Structure formats: C-alpha cells, structure tokens
C-alpha cells in the first residue's frame, strides 16, 4: 500500500514536470509551436502604402511658411509678430490626445524658460474643428484651464499642418530666426513620465542653436495621436 | 510516509490541474475575449513581428485614445471572421494602468477575440525605426507578413475588403 502510494506520487511528479515543461514551451504567447521566433531574416524590403516622403512636409533646412491663425484670445497670430525672436518652437498639439495632455506642462515649462531668451512656443491645433472636443471653443476652455502662457492657434482650414508635415500630436518643428527648420520630432524621450526623461530633444536643440551649432538629433519619432483631418 | 507525501502530492495535483487549465485557456483565445493582456517592452514584442511559417500575420498598433484605430477595429474583426487562418495580433499602446479598468472592458464590449498585447516602452524614438524606418509614429499602423513577405501600412483601413486587398498584394506576389 505504501509502495503504491509512493509510486503514484512519483508518477504524478514526473508527469507534472513534463506538463509544466510543455506549457512553458508555449508560454511565450508567440506564434504557435514549431514556428521560429526571433529577429528578421530573409523576406523582401519594406513596402508601405504611404511613405514619409509622400506624407510630405518640411525637411531639415527647409524654410517654413509663416501663417496667420486665430489665437484663443481672438487675435490673429503670425510668426512675424513675435518680436526679437531667435527661433520658434512650433508645436502641433490638441485638446484631447493623451500624449498632447501629458506634454502640456512641459510645453508651458519650455515656453516659460525659453520665451525670454527668444524662443517662444507657438501651439497649433491641426485637428478638424468639426469635433466639439477640438473646436475653437474647446481650445479656449483648455487654454484657460491650463493657463497657457503661449499662443494656441486654430488651423481652421487645415492648410498649415500639411505644409509642415505634422502627422501626430504633439509634433514639434523648431525653427531658427530665419524660419529654417532645425529640428523635427518629439519634445523629449519619455512621454509618460517627465521625471524619467533622459534626453530633452527640443531643449537640447535650442541650446545647440544658441551655440551656433546644428542640433543632434535633428529628427526624432514618437507615438502620438494621428492628426484628425476633415 | 504517506502523510508526509500527501502535501506534495496535492501540490502536484493542483499544479497539474492549473497548467491544464492554462493551456486550455491559451487555446481558447481565438473564441473568447482574452483574460490576460501581457505587457511587453520592445525586445519582448519583437519576436511576435516575425515568423518562419507561411501563415499570414497581421499586427495592428492601436490604442483606445486613437479615434481612427477604433473605427477600423470592426474591419479587422470582419476580416478575421472570413479568414480564420490569418492570425491577427493587436498591439495596444494604451497605458498599463488602464488595463483592468478600461482596456479589458473595452475589448469585451467590442467583442475583440484576437490576441491583444500591450507595448509599454517609452523610448519610442528607438523602437519605431526598428519596426519600420518609414513609420512616423502615428497610429493606426499595421504590418502584414509571413516568412517571406512584409508590408507596412501607416493608415486606417476602410473596410475588411481593403484589408484583404492589402494582404493579397503582400502575400501573393
């Protein structure tokens, strides 16, 4: 009796470890058994329906267009209106996108720190004003809630963001005093957590311009909300 | 002796049952809403983006905060229904803190039965280019691939037929 019990337990032990092993093998949640998981090999080059070139917009060194867009205070704002500008932090952002929201405080900080040095944040909402969350009234409300110290402009005809090539919010275009594009991309390298940022892309780019140098990197990518066209 | 072995035997029995349950639920992911959403960094996600098999995979990067993404979800569901041999994996770029409170209820409400994983990797400037140098970072973004072919789509699909066309264009060259 004792012996059979021991035997039984042993069988259980062995079968259990076998089963655990086999489930462990499947655990990766990857492709089903027998398929290789790992880095690429073979296959053709990338193909996509719309390339970054087709999205268009400015490249580094291009002269960006000025504009005349309505600010949340009701006044029309152009880059040329900003006196003694050494550059412009043109930022496409919006009301509702969580990424845009996560960067609101950091945009305020950038403006507060660098506007006195000649680099103002000019925020432009590229989204369709058909949405009641993104229309001019909603923008005014958001600007008031956050007490934006910078201009928050509506691209109501949606003509400016395609010229720049803004595809997501937030999307920054740092221009120098001749409106030449010097940096395109994200504000820093951690959207979710300001305290975990290790590279402040826009700030570093401004500091480079201040020293008469070219920013590096001058192009960064980030996940953001797609611009809502009409 | 018997009594000393009893707890061990029970543990073994228990874990046996548990692992069986686990493998059962793994197999059921195609028919029911997923109960566990793994959170990956890019290195953990990357193996899912490649295969050695001829099977067609569709990886869709999306998020609950992305309007066009939500709009195209039903097209993927319809496509999946008509093409059960294709494996669709949704890579959510939502926030890990929202998994229980928002993501799971959302998937349930929408009846998403395909596999869903969450990518939580803040340094997107690095991994976006590793996936596709032509990708700007805007979502929705979709990869269609098997062991030989691969295509990238930085746009929302308009219909299940739209998806099907792109799959045929990619795989049956």
Cβ contact B2:A3 at 8 Å: no
Determine the pLDDT at residue A91: 98
Verify cis geometry, omega within 30 degrees of 0, for the bond prior to A170. yes
Domain boundaries of chain A, sorted by first residue:
52-226
Determine the pLDDT at residue A56: 78
Q: What is the ipTM of this complex?
A: 0.73
CA distance B108 to A169: 28
Give how far Cα B148 sits from Cα of A132, A149, B130, Å: 45, 53, 18
Q: Enter the pTM of the model.
A: 0.77
Extended strands (E) in chain B = 39-40, 57-62, 87-92, 115-119, 141-145, 150-153
Is A49 touching B (CB cutoff 8 A)?
A: yes
Closest residue in A to B23 (Cα) is: A23
CB spacing of B1 vs A193 below 8 angstroms = no
Among residues A184, A182, A177, the alpha carbon closest in space to that of A92 is found at: A184
Which chain B positions have a beta carbon within 8 Å of A191's beta carbon? 122, 124
Determine the pLDDT at residue A229: 79
State both tokens at A112: 């507060």
Cβ contact A223:A97 at 8 Å: no
List the CATH code of the domain at A52-226: 3.40.30.10
Verify cis geometry, omega within 30 degrees of 0, for the bond prior to B140. yes
CB spacing of B136 vs A221 below 8 angstroms = yes
CA distance A166 to A68: 17
CB spacing of B8 vs A50 below 8 angstroms = no
Mind telling me how many Å the CA of A56 is from chain B's nearest CA? 11
Closest residue in B to A1 (Cα) is: B2
Average pLDDT of chain B is: 86
CA distance A160 to A91: 12
Q: pLDDT by residue for chain A (230 residues), tens digit each? A: 455 555 555 444 444 444 443 333 333 333 333 333 444 433 333 333 344 555 678 999 999 999 999 999 999 999 999 999 999 999 999 999 999 999 999 999 999 999 999 999 999 999 999 989 999 999 999 999 999 999 999 999 999 999 999 999 999 999 999 999 999 999 999 998 999 999 999 999 999 999 999 999 999 999 988 888 77
CB spacing of B16 vs A12 below 8 angstroms = yes
Taking chain B (173 residues) in consecutive chunks of 10 residues, what is each chunk's mean pLDDT? 54 48 43 80 97 97 94 97 97 95 96 95 92 92 97 95 97 80
In A100-129, the residues whose Cβ lies within 8 Å of chain B are none
CA distance A19 to A25: 10
Determine the pLDDT at residue A211: 96
Considering CB atoms only, which of B20, B125, B148 is closest to A189?
Answer: B125
Closest residue in B to A101 (Cα) is: B65
Determine the pLDDT at residue A3: 55
Cβ contact A125:A152 at 8 Å: yes
With pLDDT > 90 as the criterion, what percentage of chain B qualifies? Answer: 74
Determine the pLDDT at residue B101: 96
CB spacing of B134 vs A46 below 8 angstroms = yes
Phi, psi of A193 (to 5 degrees): -140, 105
Is A7 touching B (CB cutoff 8 A)?
A: no
């Amino acid at each position: 009796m004792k012996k059979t019990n021991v035997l039984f337990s042993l069988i259980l032990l062995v079968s259990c470890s076998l089963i655990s092993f086999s489930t462990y093998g499947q655990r990766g949640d990857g492709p089903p058994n027998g398929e290789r998981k790992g880095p690429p090999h073979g296959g053709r080059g990338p193909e996509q329906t719309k390339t970054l070139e087709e999205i268009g917009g400015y490249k580094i060194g291009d002269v960006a267009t000025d504009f005349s867009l309505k600010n949340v205070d009701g006044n029309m704002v152009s880059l040329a209106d900003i006196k003694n500008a050494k550059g412009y932090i043109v930022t496409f952002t919006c009301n509702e996108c969580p990424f845009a929201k996560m960067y609101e405080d950091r945009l305020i900080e950038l403006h507060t720190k660098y506007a006195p040095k000649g680099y103002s944040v000019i925020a432009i909402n590229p989204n369709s004003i058909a949405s009641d969350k993104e229309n001019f009234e909603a923008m005014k409300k958001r600007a008031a809630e956050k007490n934006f110290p910078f201009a928050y402009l509506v691209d109501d005809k949606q003509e400016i963001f395609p010229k720049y090539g803004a595809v997501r919010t937030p999307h920054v275009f740092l221009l120098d005093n001749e409106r030449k594009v010097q940096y395109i991309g994200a504000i820093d390298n951690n959207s979710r957590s300001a305290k975990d940022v290790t590279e402040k892309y826009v700030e570093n780019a401004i500091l480079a311009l201040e020293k008469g140098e070219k920013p590096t990197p001058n192009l960064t990518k980030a996940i953001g909300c797609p611009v809502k066209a009409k | 002796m018997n009594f000393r072995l009893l707890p061990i035997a029970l543990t073994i029995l228990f874990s046996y049952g548990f692992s069986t349950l686990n493998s059962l639920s793994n197999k059921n992911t195609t028919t029911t809403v997923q109960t566990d959403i793994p959170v990956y960094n890019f290195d953990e996600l990357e193996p899912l983006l490649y295969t050695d098999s001829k099977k067609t995979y569709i990886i869709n990067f999306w998020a609950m905060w992305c309007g066009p993404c939500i709009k195209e979800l039903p097209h993927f569901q319809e496509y999946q229904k008509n093409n059960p041999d294709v494996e669709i994996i949704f890579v959510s770029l939502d926030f890990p803190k929202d998994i229980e409170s928002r993501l799971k209820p959302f998937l349930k409400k929408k009846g998403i039965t395909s596999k869903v994983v969450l990518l939580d990797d803040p340094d997107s400037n690095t991994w976006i280019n590793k996936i596709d140098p032509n990708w700007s970072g805007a979502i929705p973004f979709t990869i269609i691939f098997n062991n030989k072919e691969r295509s990238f789509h930085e746009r929302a699909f308009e219909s299940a037929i739209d998806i099907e066309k792109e799959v045929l264009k990619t795989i049956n060259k």
